Amino acid sequence: MELDHSGFGLEDDIIAQVLLSRGVPRDELDRHRSPSLRDFLPDPSEFRDMDAAADRLAQAILTGEKITVYGDYDVDGATSAALLIRLISGLGHNADYYIPDRLLEGYGPSGEALVRIAEEGSSLIVTVDCGAMAYDALGMAHAAGVDVIVVDHHKCAPELPVTVALVNPNRLDESDTGAAHGHLAAVGVAFLLAVATVRTLRQRGFFESRAEPDLFSLLDLVALGTVADVASLTGLNRAFVAQGLKIMARRENTGMAALIDASHLNRAPISSDLGFALGPRINAGGRVGESTLGVRLLTTADPDEAADIALQLSQLNEERRSIEAAVQEAAELQIEKQHNRAVMVIAGRGWHPGVIGIVASRIKDKTGKPTLVIAMDEGSAGQAKGSGRSIPGVDLGAAIIAAREEGLLVAGGGHAMAAGLTIESAKVEAFAEWLDTKLARDVAASSAGQSLSLDLALAPGGLTPSLVETLERAGPFGMGWPGPRLAVGPVRLVKADIVGTDHVRLIVSGKDGASFKAVAFRTASNEFGQTLLHGTRDKWLWLAGRAKIDDWGSKRQAELHIEDAAWADG
């Protein structure tokens, strides 16, 4: 390793600076360099209702009861359900699963479905990634005599539904330790329940004649669900993802390995792959295909079945892309009409509800504002479904719950960065006005605090695969723990063109003689992209963005994904 003048390794020094810039105290650098469960995992009993949930699940396993896991149809729901199914299987028992159809049943537990599951023999139902606000449905289940455990992470109201246990770090009556883990995805909460259940069974002598299940082997599921649900990668979530990526690289989960292969990754996945390659494929099943495909893939031990499902999910993902592009184009036509609004509320008739969350995310990124996209019925009346994405500092989930309590929504909930809703079509405009007023101050404060923070400035010759690999050691990166942003320059444009859908690709060269490729995604049609394409000839620039490794060619090279640019002095 190269050493600097003080005797410290330059690589270690760079990693330390990245960690310090993300708020890690200097005396905790070692703990954060390699985040482990040993250092970050809390005692599950600190969470409200965790012991009651573990006791009831352990009892069902000990007495051979029929258990059904009821999951949401997105990646967090699929990984949460798969985790509990694999746990229960590892304990020598079987669990059924139920994943609702997005279009026919919508989000959250259906009372009719819960009652039907009970009638088919299940005495215990565990809902994952849903249920925290399902008062009517869980009331029907209680009346039918079936026990329900809710494992969730979405915002809660003061009143809780009737359950055997409701485990959710975002309960308003949560302990201080539990509330400090409100950033967990549902799959993270499910893992804590797995730890608590195994401990309960151990205390009851269940493992005196059998081996304990390997809970670490479930961390690939936790990593995938956490990153795909855009949970903040701080604290325990960093440990979950860091360790989960190691498990994923071992390819011991047959379905996960097939998913990696279907994503055309020729290396072990990194954190960004979970959000941009693996997660969208699992999501495609629930969005435009068959909602159970994700759980089936992540729980099968049959390589042929896994390969078939992974291929099907990849095909559905391509179909989803096509549908999304059409909705995106229609939705963007409404942006200019709402430029004075703090919150974008965009609605259209005939839009596919399965892609509106993705479109909301795209428009949020483009405008820098919280965005809700609403799919309305083709007719003039009826209910509409909406999905929203927010920006840091603006709690969209809490606002949606408040709107529901105001009578503006039929149903709704979520967490700070994402939310869903059901609304009467006639109330969309009134809701948009209310939401704009409700969140205007928070959006203004968030926008005023925006800045482009840089971790490192370097000449073009310093942008190397070795540097990128060094920076990756300060990860995993994602929401709440952003990847390092570099300023590289001064550079001059060698070549500029448009590639793919609306992406600007540059070849630039520096005064040191080194050149590299840079890409500005989804910018070809806006002023920034046009400036890069046509307005930078014979001028020196600094480019700011995140460094990645391009390993598609015969030689691995570092490239820059551009977020901003500035003229160089002189």
Tokens of 149: 């455990």
Same domain, yes or no: 195 and 279: yes
Evaluate whether residue 13 is within a structural domain: no
Instruction: List all residues 6 or more positions away from 122 whose beta carbon is below 8 Å from its beta carbon.
Output: 65, 66, 67, 68, 96, 146
Please name the amino acid found at residue 120: E
* φ/ψ (deg, to 5) at 431: -65, -40
The Cβ of residue 229 has, within 10 Å, a number of other Cβ atoms equal to: 26
Identify which of 190, 192, 212, 191 has the alpha carbon closest to the alpha carbon of residue 201: 212
Same domain, yes or no: 426 and 476: no
Tell me the C-alpha distance between 44 and 318, whole Å: 40
Same domain, yes or no: 165 and 253: yes
**Cβ 546 vs Cβ 494: under 8 Å:** no
The Cβ of residue 306 has, within 10 Å, a number of other Cβ atoms equal to: 24
**Cβ 342 vs Cβ 440: under 8 Å:** yes
Pairing of strands 383-389, 411-415: unpaired
**Cβ 216 vs Cβ 247: under 8 Å:** yes
Evaluate whether residue 7 is within a structural domain: no
Identify which of 185, 83, 171, 64 has the alpha carbon closest to the alpha carbon of residue 126: 83
Same domain, yes or no: 361 and 217: no
Please report the beta strands in 46-123, taking only residues with DSSP state E, as ranges in sequence order: 67-71, 95-98
Instruction: List all residues 6 or more positions away from 266 whose beta carbon is below 8 Å from its beta carbon.
Output: 551
Tokens of 395: 């709690």
Tokens of 304: 């042929």
Please name the amino acid found at residue 250: R
**Cβ 197 vs Cβ 87: under 8 Å:** yes
CATH code for the domain in which residue 434 is found: 3.10.310.30
Tell me the C-alpha distance between 390 and 230, whole Å: 11
Evaluate whether residue 111 is within a structural domain: yes
Residue 486: C-alpha distances to residues 454, 455, 567 (Å): 6, 6, 16
Tell me the C-alpha distance between 63 and 59, whole Å: 6
Same domain, yes or no: 179 and 278: yes
Residue 390: domain span: 333-448
Structural domain count of the chain: 3
Reported residue count of the chain is 570
The Cβ of residue 36 has, within 10 Å, a number of other Cβ atoms equal to: 12
Same domain, yes or no: 424 and 464: no
Same domain, yes or no: 249 and 377: no
**Cβ 412 vs Cβ 385: under 8 Å:** no
**Cβ 563 vs Cβ 504: under 8 Å:** no
Instruction: List all residues 6 or more positions away from 149 whose beta carbon is below 8 Å from its beta carbon.
Output: 53, 56, 57, 124, 125, 126, 127, 163, 164, 165, 166, 167
Write down the pTM of the prediction: 0.89
Same domain, yes or no: 284 and 350: no
Same domain, yes or no: 522 and 411: no
Calculate ∠ Cα 455-279-307, nearest 5°. Answer: 135
Calculate ∠ Cα 26-27-29, nearest 5°. Answer: 65
Tell me the C-alpha distance between 421 and 411, whole Å: 6
**Cβ 186 vs Cβ 159: under 8 Å:** no
Instruction: List all residues 6 or more positions away from 344 whose beta carbon is below 8 Å from its beta carbon.
Output: 335, 338, 363, 364, 367, 369, 370, 371, 372
Same domain, yes or no: 382 and 311: no
Tokens of 210: 């059998």
pLDDT of residue 3: 39
Domain boundary among 429, 448, 467: 448
Domain boundary among 448, 469, 498: 448
Tokens of 566: 């500035």
Evaluate whether residue 325 is within a structural domain: no
CATH code for the domain in which residue 177 is found: 3.90.1640.30
* φ/ψ (deg, to 5) at 539: -120, 145
Same domain, yes or no: 367 and 487: no
pLDDT tens for the chain, 570 residues: list them: 343 434 445 577 899 999 999 999 999 999 999 999 999 999 999 999 999 999 999 999 999 999 999 999 999 999 999 999 999 999 999 999 999 988 788 788 999 999 999 999 999 999 999 999 999 999 999 999 999 999 999 999 899 999 999 999 999 999 999 999 999 999 999 999 999 999 999 999 999 999 999 999 999 999 999 999 999 999 999 999 999 999 999 999 999 999 999 999 988 999 999 999 999 999 999 888 899 999 999 999 999 999 999 999 999 999 999 999 999 999 999 998 888 899 999 999 999 999 999 999 999 988 999 999 999 976 556 889 999 999 989 999 999 999 999 999 999 988 889 999 999 999 999 999 999 999 999 999 998 877 788 999 999 999 999 999 999 999 999 988 999 999 999 999 999 999 988 899 999 999 999 999 999 998 998 889 999 998 777 889 999 999 999 877 678 899 999 999 999 975
Same domain, yes or no: 377 and 513: no
Identify which of 223, 185, 105 has the alpha carbon closest to the alpha carbon of residue 418: 185
Evaluate whether residue 324 is within a structural domain: no
Identify which of 175, 179, 197, 203 has the alpha carbon closest to the alpha carbon of residue 46: 175
